[in-house]
A and B are shown apart, each in its own frame.
Chain A
Amino acid sequence: MELETQPRSPGTGGGRRSFLWKRFKKQKVLHLFVGLGMVYLLIFAYTPMFGILMAFKDYSISSGIKGIFTSDWVGLRYFDEFVHDYQFGKLVRNTLVLSLLKVIFAFPAPILLAIMLNEVKHMAFKRFVQTISYLPHFISWVVVVGVSYAFLSTDVGVVNKALLAMGFVDEPLGFLTSPNYFWGLAVGSAVWKEMGWWTIIFLAAISGISPSLYEAAEIDGAGRLARIRYITLPGMKGTIVVVLVLTIGSILGGGLVGSNFEQAYLFGNSINNPTSEIVQTYAFRVGLSDGRFSYAAAIDLIQSVISVALIFSSNYIAKRVSGSSLF
């Protein structure tokens, strides 16, 4: 063990190489371990990256993986086709609106919950609320949609039954089947599912704030709200920025509140389609259902390019504005 860390004598290139080789041989089992992971990533992460080529080619699935390289180039034909698709405007609008609404409503929610929990003096109550609040994070979107059905559907929904019984409405509201409700439904269920989970990180940030700051403020006569405003919030700033960068970078996928695709796919139906169909569900339909692989790959690619651009620019802005950033 010690030999490795000792300064090596300056020698010729050959000596250095044999030294490296010695070290490598000594670590060969470790390199075998790591090599397993590298092979794995090569197959399941890097080979699909080469597959992006098919967006520029006339790819047919029967040609297998080789076809990615051997099929004919078509340039930007599929990108052009997507931009001129009659659904293009609707898809882009729905994707952007859903993502933006989620940032606006779902991003502040866990911050608010963390601040409220921090003000609670009963530890048992605090812990209980917290434990309950992140339970939905572990439940699948399928169950969340099932729960929504049980509460909001027109035939069995508890909410509609209650509204009818109390005489607030004359006929059940089509929460799940009307385009007017889809965005609210998606944002609401996303907040419900992920709010508690992200609270963990913000609570951790709060726990890093020195208690002496609060004591000093109290002596100076600062009320509870003033302490939140001048101590708690500034103390969370770094974490808030990092989470915001993460959110914006993954905004097209659903940000920190989970999958836009799963929501749009599971909540979506033929009636709320005007607001529920997004770029990802469309790419899935034309790709795996209709078998138009190159076209779907092109749509996918546009989206990932935008995502990568978003994460780098939001990171850059965060660094300039606040000094904290993700990388």
Chain B
Amino acid sequence: MLKSQRQKDLVFDSVIYAALFIIMLTMLYPFYYVLIASFNKGSDSLLGGVYLWPRNFTLENYRMFMDDPKWVRAFLVSVLRTVSGTLLGLLLTSIVAYGLSHRDLLFSKVYFTVIVFAMYFSGGLIPYYVVLRSLGLLNSFAVYIVPSMLSTFFLLIAISFFREIPGELKESAHMDGAGELTIFFRIILPVSTPVLATMALFMGVGQWNSWLDSAYFVQSEELRTLAFRMMEVINKSNSPMDSIAVANSASAGVTSFSLQVTSMVVSIVPIICVYPFLQKYFVHGIMLGSVKG
């Protein structure tokens, strides 16, 4: 009886470990494959059979990428929007959340109603476009930053975090004659690293990955982001006429496919780099806002 139970457990465990192992491979291998493909000679990749390591190692793909001012510029635009968008978004979100975190704030019911309503209802893309157009934001770098500075979702997460900061901290500062601005910048922000890191990760990743706003609201070539350019090469090769696109850039063994995987690596690497530093915060931070108790 006991033995058969143990045997059953063994089968059960093997099934689970096998399944998890397969899931892990499915998640990892695509990234690995893209990486090796970016170091393989483009014309060689087209022959197939490259599975585990680069067969025809080359740095030509990356050189091509870095020699092309269009890609370099797109990369810089992406970096700039990620850094400034994240910092400004953090600033506005936490300032507003700090005000709202005071339980004795007058009219706070009104404020919260305004926020929650905005969370569930929206005007849709077309009216939004018209608003951005009237504000003169179309075709400017500001369109990447300004409209995304405040998200109701992050606002609620930040509020619930600020509420857990002990009130004595603020009170003693009040006694010492500190104003709200001083308290906010000198006391609240420094103790809020976990929630700030969480929001920074999400805002940063959102900014870095965003291509829709570049496609909708920007026509100027100089303002294109890395994600948008990537979308362009992928969409071009994804369409039925892909062989033409491949033939066009087949110089020095670099193909549209090899350029594509290279740009993908360039866009994934920054995310992988910040991931381990920030993930210890976000699992806790996101829980705070979503599941309580």
Contacts and interface: CB of A to CB of B under 8 A. Distances in A.
A119 B20 CA distance: 11
A138 B126 contact: no
Given A40-B150, A119-B16, A153 B180 contact: no
A136 B174 CA distance: 45
Contacts of A147: 30-31, 33-34, 264
Given A27-B105, A145-B238, 13 more contacts: A24-B106, A33-B95, A41-B114, A43-B135, A46-B118, A48-B124, A113-B23, A129-B24, A139-B271, A150-B257, A151-B33, A156-B48, A269-B238
Contacts of B209: 138-140, 142-143
Contacts of A296: 125-126
Contacts of B45: 156
A32 B105 CA distance: 12
Contacts of B238: 145, 149, 153, 176, 266-267, 269
Contacts of A61: 130, 133
Contact of B105 (A30, A117, A161): A30
B70 to A, nearest CB: 16
B122 A45 contact: yes
A270 B239 contact: yes
Given A36-B95, A266-B234, A47 B30 contact: no
Interface string B195-207: 0000000000100
Nearest to B25: A132
A156 B230 contact: no
A-B pairs with lowest CB-CB distance, top 10 = A51-B127, A48-B123, A161-B48, A37-B96, A140-B209, A33-B99, A300-B124, A34-B99, A29-B180, A45-B118
Given A27-B102, A48-B122, A37 B240 contact: no
Nearest to B5: A223
Nearest to A42: B114
B242 interface: yes
Nearest to A28: B180
B193 to A, nearest CB: 20
Interface in B74-112: 92, 95-96, 98-100, 102, 104-107, 111
A289 to B, nearest CB: 10
A142 B135 contact: no
Given A31-B99, A116-B20, A120-B17, A143 B243 contact: no
B64 interface: no
A117 B275 contact: no
Interface in A245-265: 262
Given A120-B17, A132-B24, A239-B291, A37 B155 contact: yes
B161 interface: no
Contacts, number: 273
A211 to B, nearest CB: 17
Nearest to B21: A129
A262 B115 CA distance: 26
Interface of B: 5, 8-9, 12-13, 16-17, 19-20, 23-24, 26-28, 30-31, 33-34, 37, 45-46, 48-49, 51, 92, 95-96, 98-100, 102, 104-107, 111, 114-115, 118, 120-131, 133-135, 147, 149-150, 152, 155, 171, 174, 179-181, 184, 205, 208-212, 216, 227, 230-231, 234-235, 237-240, 242-243, 246, 257, 260-261, 264, 267-268, 271-272, 275, 279, 283, 286-287, 290-291, 293
A325 interface: no
B122 A49 contact: yes
A55 B257 CA distance: 42
A37 B184 CA distance: 16
Contacts of A205: 291
Nearest to B274: A138
Nearest to A112: B19
A91 interface: no
Given A33-B99, A270-B240, A51 B126 contact: yes
B230 A224 contact: no
Interface residues on A, range: 35 or more
Given A37-B155, A48-B123, A51-B123, A138 B286 contact: no
A95 B210 CA distance: 23
Contact of A140 (B34, B171, B211, B293): B211
B135 to A, nearest CB: 7
A209 interface: no
A316 B267 CA distance: 42
Nearest to A191: B26
A311 B122 CA distance: 14
A65 B127 CA distance: 9
A59 B23 CA distance: 51
A288 B49 contact: no
Contacts of B264: 143, 146-147
Contact of B104 (A5, A48, A270, A311): A5
A164 B205 CA distance: 38
A98 to B, nearest CB: 18
A262 B227 CA distance: 13
